[in-house]
Amino acid sequence: MACQKSTAGDNGIESPQSKSGSDRFEDRLALLAGLSGRIISNLDPDRVYQDIVAAACELTLAHYGALAIFDDFGVIDNFTTHGIGKEEKERIGGPPTGRGLLGVLPTAEKPLRLADLRAHAGFTGFPPGHPEMKTFLGAPIYHGDERLGNLYLAEKAGGREFTSEDENLVIMFAAQAAMAIRHSQLYARESTLREQAEMEHARLTAIIDSSAAGIVVVEAPDGRVVLANQEAKRILGFGLSSGDDRETYEYAAVYRRPDGSPYGVDELPLQRALRHGETSQGVEVIFDFADGRRIPTVVNASPVYDESGYVTAAIAVIGDISALQEVERLKAEFLSMVTHDLRGPLSTIKGLSSSMLMDSGPVDDETTLEYVRTIDEEADRMSELVGNLLDMSRIEADAMSMDPELCHLADITAEAVRRIERSREGGNHKIVTDVPLTLPEIFADYDQIGRVLSNLLSNAIKYSPQGSEVRITSYQSPDNSGEIVTKVADDGVGIPSEEMDKIFDKFYRVTSQRGRGRPGSGLGLAICKAIIESHDGKIWVESEPGKGSTFYFSQTGAVASVGYD
Ligand code: ADP
């Protein structure tokens, strides 16, 4: 496209019709001023390059124009043309790079104005497909001492030569172009850096936010929170309102040492880092909130300095150690329970057997029998506890052996009831069973399912008043899944809803039951769960404190015995 004929170039720049094409010097200067203004109106480098080359064509009435932009090493890294069609451009290929006139032009320091390109000694010919060009005007583009690129113009309108006036105007235009180029390049560089920084920031925010530890950054001088990740917000119990990253931290908690004494605000690791530039590591701080929440934590804090060595901010990493403390507590409780539960029966056994051995031992056969029975029961209690401990470690090592066979829940239930009724604990409760013989048999480990029932039965008795009723019922699941559900219901103390999902964890005992004179290891239900799950079944509980609990377990019923006998 011949730019001097157009009113709007490829780039959409409107030609000032009144002045474009005029030979009057004042008009051409006015045109130069207008075009110079326009080439700085964009910031995108590609648009700016197009605007420059189109404006240069318009200024000099050149039919063809090209702009070569150099990188930091003087190598052409952008070549924008004007007046050359897309296909033509593809045929020509990249910018000239050889040793001929067009190849060496990029390094020429002065403008080059030729009436006939072909007549120049350095001309080595156009590459195949290149449009024929005769008149030529080339000019370097300098920004200060730095060479930014070259402007090439060819084929002035009407077969005329480029004049010295054209050359001067192009030199003036090149100075303006240099500013526009540098400006857009800086803008592009800055945009790239900004994008990179934003990406980095987003990445860092994602990492910080997903961190398992709480991270808080506060700013000097007043300790306003500038960053708090999700975990920190959870622990600290405050939120930064959206769009406001400078909300002042609210001191909603009392901060305590492990011995319970409160920290002064100035003594807290984050404040010490901010006010005194101190680094703290592994400081135990308990967050004690007015609403009853209590979170034990370990805090590390460090100051952040500016170049002059002043503390500008402080950062704290807060780790919630509640879970760790709970494990420690359970471990300690378990050890004291095991020692207590083993020592109790042991001293009874020892006491009774010693008195039997003494000369003044039991006076009659009935007393002797009573002693022996008690010894037997106490030994049973001990062996049950040791058995539970062994089973738990087998379950954890995945080494619990199962020996499934076709059996009927009615038999398992009857045996479990007989066992509990014979024991001392079962004597005072009424046990009612409803396990119809019409139910299908199950394919299960007879002894292990028996243990589950015995355990649930013994719990029902242990956690309900003397003389109350315990009901065992088995039925086919109403949802046609073929499952058989067994439930053990009592009218006992019940379980608070917030603890219901924990009682199947090993060593867990309901808070209100601990130390109430009801011995227990917190292992029974964990073992039941492991046994039922290894039979592909489910175990769960429904309960109401003060009213009673119902434990359920389900199993797949065997429809027929084919293949199992
Ligand atoms: P434990 O040896 O302590 O009874 P379990 O694992 O059998 O251990 O039970 C865990 C805890 O669940 C018990 O300590 C008790 O607090 C609670 N629990 C179990 N069964 C019942 C029940 N039938 N009624 C009320 N609480 C129960």
Identify the pLDDT of residue 565: 34
DSSP 439: S
Taking the C-alpha atoms of residue 284 and residue 364, their distance in angstroms, rounded to an integer, is: 63
Q: Which atom of ligand 1 is nearest to the CA of 522?
A: 8
pLDDT per residue rounded down to tens, the chain (565 residues): 334 333 333 444 444 444 456 778 888 989 999 998 889 888 899 999 999 999 999 999 999 999 999 988 888 889 899 998 888 888 777 776 666 676 667 677 788 899 998 888 777 777 777 788 899 999 999 998 898 999 999 999 999 999 999 999 999 999 999 999 999 999 999 999 999 999 998 998 899 888 999 998 888 888 888 888 889 888 877 654 433 343 444 456 788 999 999 998 789 899 899 999 999 999 999 988 888 889 999 999 999 999 999 999 999 999 999 988 888 887 777 777 777 778 888 888 998 888 888 766 666 788 888 888 889 888 888 888 888 888 888 887 777 788 899 999 999 999 999 988 887 676 789 999 999 999 999 999 999 999 999 999 999 999 999 999 999 999 998 887 789 999 999 999 999 999 998 999 888 888 776 655 566 778 899 999 999 999 999 999 999 999 999 999 998 876 544 333 3
Ligand 1 pocket test, candidate residues 333, 338, 463, most atoms within 8 A of CB: 463
Q: How far is the CA of 483 from the centre of ligand 1 (A)?
A: 25
Q: How far is the CA of 463 from the centre of ligand 1 (A)?
A: 7
Q: Whose CA is closest to 96, among 118, 73, 66, 121? A: 66
- The verdict on the CB of residue 548 being under 6 Å from ligand 1 is no
Report DSSP letters for 203-236, one per residue: HHHHHHHH-SSEEEEEETTTTEEEEE-HHHHHHH
Q: How far is the CA of 371 from the centre of ligand 1 (A)?
A: 29
The answer for residues whose C-beta is within 8 angstroms of residue 215's C-beta and 6 or more apart is 208, 227, 228, 229, 231, 232, 315, 316, 317, 318
- The verdict on the CB of residue 489 being under 6 Å from ligand 1 is no
Q: Whose CA is closest to 149, among 223, 257, 67? A: 67
Identify the pLDDT of residue 5: 35
Q: Whose CA is closest to 154, among 134, 184, 174, 131? A: 134
- The verdict on the CB of residue 504 being under 6 Å from ligand 1 is no
Q: Is the peptide bond before 465 cis (omega within 30 degrees of 0)?
A: no
At residue 219, what are phi and psi to the nearest 5 degrees? -110, 145
Q: How far is the CA of 133 from the centre of ligand 1 (A)?
A: 98
Q: Which atom of ligand 1 is nearest to the CA of 521?
A: 2
Q: How far is the CA of 316 from the centre of ligand 1 (A)?
A: 41
At residue 392, what are phi and psi to the nearest 5 degrees? -60, -45
- The verdict on the CB of residue 495 being under 6 Å from ligand 1 is yes
- The verdict on the CB of residue 527 being under 6 Å from ligand 1 is no
- Measuring from atom 18 of ligand 1, which residue has the nearest CA? 459
Identify the pLDDT of residue 132: 83
The answer for residues whose C-beta is within 8 angstroms of residue 456's C-beta and 6 or more apart is 488, 528, 551, 553
Ligand 1 pocket test, candidate residues 341, 385, 525, 531, most atoms within 8 A of CB: 525
- The verdict on the CB of residue 539 being under 6 Å from ligand 1 is no
Taking the C-alpha atoms of residue 489 and residue 543, their distance in angstroms, rounded to an integer, is: 9
Q: How far is the CA of 291 from the centre of ligand 1 (A)?
A: 29
Q: How far is the CA of 487 from the centre of ligand 1 (A)?
A: 15
Identify the pLDDT of residue 240: 46
- The verdict on the CB of residue 382 being under 6 Å from ligand 1 is no
- Measuring from atom 23 of ligand 1, which residue has the nearest CA? 460
- Measuring from atom 25 of ligand 1, which residue has the nearest CA? 494
DSSP 8: B
What are the CA-CA distances from residue 17 to residues 8, 13, 25, 492, 559 (Å)? 10, 12, 16, 100, 96
- The verdict on the CB of residue 303 being under 6 Å from ligand 1 is no
Question: Are the beta carbons of 64 and 133 closer than 8 angstroms?
Answer: yes
Question: Are the beta carbons of 484 and 554 closer than 8 angstroms?
Answer: yes
Measure CA of the first residue to CA of the last residue in the chain; give whole Å.
94
- The verdict on the CB of residue 470 being under 6 Å from ligand 1 is no
- The verdict on the CB of residue 460 being under 6 Å from ligand 1 is yes
- Measuring from atom 20 of ligand 1, which residue has the nearest CA? 459
Ligand 1 pocket test, candidate residues 509, 523, 540, 543, most atoms within 8 A of CB: 509
- The verdict on the CB of residue 520 being under 6 Å from ligand 1 is yes
